[in-house]
């Protein structure tokens, strides 16, 4: 019998009553735990790692950060609204400071005693009365699986842990080394190599800059032209200057920002970069003061999309060729929810009301599945406040809760951007922080009215 497959009903179910299960103890999970506790819920949080911080902990095997990662949004736009980053830290803190900040947040609000470390959630399934059956097991090595039932589940597993790799023709014949940026930790791997960086996002630009400083040569392949916002304009963090103009109409702000970039960064086509095929605010912003500078030094050669790989060379769409020893795929990440049945969140990426609520499951919420044009954590703080208030209202005033829920399914297709953002998978959950926070604020007011 020892080797017989165990069926779930042979496992004793541990009924956790009104407690809420939070999946993940990174930035979103910690905010969820803190705000649920603040609203009087019992909380069990599970994290597969042995420490907090999720993506921000460089020692975690799924962490996307590298040794030189700094914030690209400045402090006031990045910190939790009720737990400020210290005054004596710089405008754009280093990832190790962010981890220290989350450690302090966890200690300050006494969150650790509610977190089960080294425990991963195998599955979360809806059962009767809108409750959830959650199966957990030790994430490192053997150990028995446990099964518990919860009143609600908050999914906070992050969306930057599963590398997305595009189809690259001929890559299997290529003799050089190919890595995804998720396994890029330190510039040492670039030294003396001829490097091709594929991908124009913030990580791709950071690695291209490090290659310009450390490698023997660097090609940077992007699909399109981008706007490169500097970290500082007029001597102030660029996002703070930008937020001072939020009251202006979008088109005027786009025009003004284009002018500012023209006067500070310059005409990108002079540097051999392509002209952007979109206006600013229409894709996730690239914040990098150094990329254009190193293109100007000739240390980065901008190239177009890859056409095909050969044994030693790479051909690009514009007819040029490169001979890299090392290829870094900075091609981003895809959201993954292995512990949920695919039908629960709907399509991929999930179509959720306010990027939080699954229309058919009122006791399931996702925290942190947004890509704002600002720091992430203020949005997640208000998301988890809304989730806590929503779960509270369901028990204190079920009728009112049902009224609010009535239109959720139709609103799952809504977007929360001002500019028209491309609807690719990567851009699906991009939000404009002002538009999105206004929507969350009105929901919060509805929930407490």
Single out the residue of 11, 50, 84, 248 in contact with other proteins (rule: CB under 8 A).
84
User: Considering the complex, what minimum distance in angstroms separates the CB of residue 413 from other proteins?
Assistant: 23
Site string for other proteins, 126-165 (x = CB under 8 A): ----------------------------------------
Q: Is residue 88 within the footprint of other proteins (CB under 8 A)?
A: yes
**How does strand 228-229 pair with strand 286-287?**
parallel
Single out the residue of 83, 117, 232, 316 in contact with other proteins (rule: CB under 8 A).
83
Q: Is residue 437 within the footprint of other proteins (CB under 8 A)?
A: yes
Which part of the chain contacts other proteins (CB under 8 A), choosing from 49-57, 271-279, 286-294, 435-443?
Answer: 435-443
- Binding positions for other proteins, 257-316, rule CB under 8 A: none
Residue 398, Cβ density class (10 Å: 0-12 exposed, 13-18 middle, ≥19 buried): exposed
Site string for other proteins, 15-54 (x = CB under 8 A): -----------------------x----------------
Q: How far is CA 293 from CA 237, 266, 290, 426, in A?
A: 18, 11, 5, 28
Q: For residues 197 and 204, what is the distance between their CA atoms, to the nearest angstrom?
A: 6
User: Considering the complex, what minimum distance in angstroms separates the CB of residue 443 from other proteins?
Assistant: 10
Residue (20 or 300) nearer to other proteins, CB? 20
Q: Is residue 246 within the footprint of other proteins (CB under 8 A)?
A: yes
User: Considering the complex, what minimum distance in angstroms separates the CB of residue 260 from other proteins?
Assistant: 15
Q: For residues 335 and 58, what is the distance between their CA atoms, to the nearest angstrom?
A: 19
Q: For residues 292 and 266, what is the distance between their CA atoms, to the nearest angstrom?
A: 9
Single out the residue of 110, 166, 296, 398 in contact with other proteins (rule: CB under 8 A).
110
- Measure the CA angle with vertex 11, ends 8 and 13; round to 5°: 100
The DSSP call for residue 235 is T
Q: For residues 160 and 334, what is the distance between their CA atoms, to the nearest angstrom?
A: 7
Site string for other proteins, 55-74 (x = CB under 8 A): --------------------
Going edge to edge, which strands form the sheet with 326-329? 177-180, 326-329, 194-198, 217-221, 301-303
On whether the CB atoms of residues 169 and 309 are closer than 8 A, the answer is: yes
Q: For residues 179 and 196, what is the distance between their CA atoms, to the nearest angstrom?
A: 11
Helix-helix angle 27-38:377-396, to 10 degrees: 40
The strand pairing partners of 308, in sequence order, are 315
User: Considering the complex, what minimum distance in angstroms separates the CB of residue 22 from other proteins?
Assistant: 18
Q: Is residue 240 within the footprint of other proteins (CB under 8 A)?
A: yes
Q: Quote the radius of gyration of the chain (alpha carbons, Å).
A: 23
On whether the CB atoms of residues 349 and 428 are closer than 8 A, the answer is: yes
Establish how many alpha carbons lie within 13 A of residue 333's alpha carbon, considering only the half-sphere containing its beta carbon: 22
Residue (287 or 326) nearer to other proteins, CB? 287
Q: Is residue 252 within the footprint of other proteins (CB under 8 A)?
A: no
Single out the residue of 106, 209, 303, 440 in contact with other proteins (rule: CB under 8 A).
440
Residue (39 or 146) nearer to other proteins, CB? 39
Single out the residue of 14, 107, 305, 338 in contact with other proteins (rule: CB under 8 A).
107
- Binding positions for other proteins, 358-377, rule CB under 8 A: 374
Q: What is the SS3 assignment for 137? A: strand
Q: Is residue 318 within the footprint of other proteins (CB under 8 A)?
A: no
Binding site for other proteins (CB under 8 A): 38, 75-77, 81-84, 86-88, 107-110, 239-244, 246-247, 374, 382, 434, 437-438, 440-441, 444-445
């Amino acid at each position: 019998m020892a080797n017989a497959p165990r069926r779930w009903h042979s496992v004793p179910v541990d009924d956790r009553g009104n407690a809420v299960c939070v999946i993940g103890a990174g930035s979103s999970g910690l905010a969820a735990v803190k705000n649920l506790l603040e609203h009087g819920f019992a909380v069990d949080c599970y994290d597969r790692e042995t420490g907090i911080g999720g993506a921000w902990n460089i020692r975690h095997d799924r962490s996307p950060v590298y040794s030189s990662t700094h914030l690209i949004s400045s402090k006031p736009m990045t910190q939790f609204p009720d737990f400020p980053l210290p005054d004596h830290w710089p405008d754009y803190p280093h990832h190790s400071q962010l981890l220290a900040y989350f450690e302090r947040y966890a200690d300050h609000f006494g969150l650790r005693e509610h977190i089960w470390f080294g425990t991963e959630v195998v599955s979360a399934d809806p059962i009767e009365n809108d409750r959830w059956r959650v199966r957990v097991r030790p994430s490192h090595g053997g150990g028995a699986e446990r099964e518990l039932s919860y009143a609600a589940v908050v999914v906070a597993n992050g969306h930057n842990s599963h590398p997305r790799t595009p189809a690259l023709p001929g890559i299997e014949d290529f003799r050089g080394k190919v890595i995804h940026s998720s396994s890029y930790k330190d510039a040492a791997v670039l030294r003396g190599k001829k490097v091709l960086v594929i991908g124009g996002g913030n990580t791709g630009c950071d690695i291209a800059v490090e290659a310009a400083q450390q490698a023997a040569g660097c090609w940077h392949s992007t699909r399109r032209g981008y706007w490169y916002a500097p970290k500082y304009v007029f001597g102030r963090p660029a996002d703070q200057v930008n937020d001072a103009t939020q009251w202006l109409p979008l088109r005027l702000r786009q025009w003004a920002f284009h002018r500012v970039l023209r006067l500070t960064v310059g005409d990108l086509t002079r540097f051999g970069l392509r002209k952007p095929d979109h206006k600013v605010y229409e894709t996730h912003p690239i914040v990098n003061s150094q990329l254009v500078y190193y293109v100007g030094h000739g240390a980065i050669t901008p190239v177009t999309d890859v056409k095909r790989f050969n044994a030693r060379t790479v051909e690009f769409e514009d007819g040029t060729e490169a001979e890299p020893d090392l290829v870094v795929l900075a091609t981003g990440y895809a959201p993954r929810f292995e512990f949920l049945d695919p039908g629960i969140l709907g399509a991929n990426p999930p179509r959720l009301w306010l990027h939080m609520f699954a229309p058919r499951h009122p006791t399931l919420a996702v925290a942190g599945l947004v890509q704002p044009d600002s720091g992430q954590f203020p949005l997640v703080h208000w998301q988890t406040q809304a989730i806590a208030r929503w779960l509270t209202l369901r028990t204190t005033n079920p009728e009112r809760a049902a009224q609010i829920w009535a239109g959720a399914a139709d609103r799952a297709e809504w977007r929360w951007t001002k500019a028209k953002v491309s609807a690719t998978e990567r851009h699906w959950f991009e939000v404009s922080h002002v538009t999105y926070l206004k929507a969350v604020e009105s929901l919060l007011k509805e929930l407490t009215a």
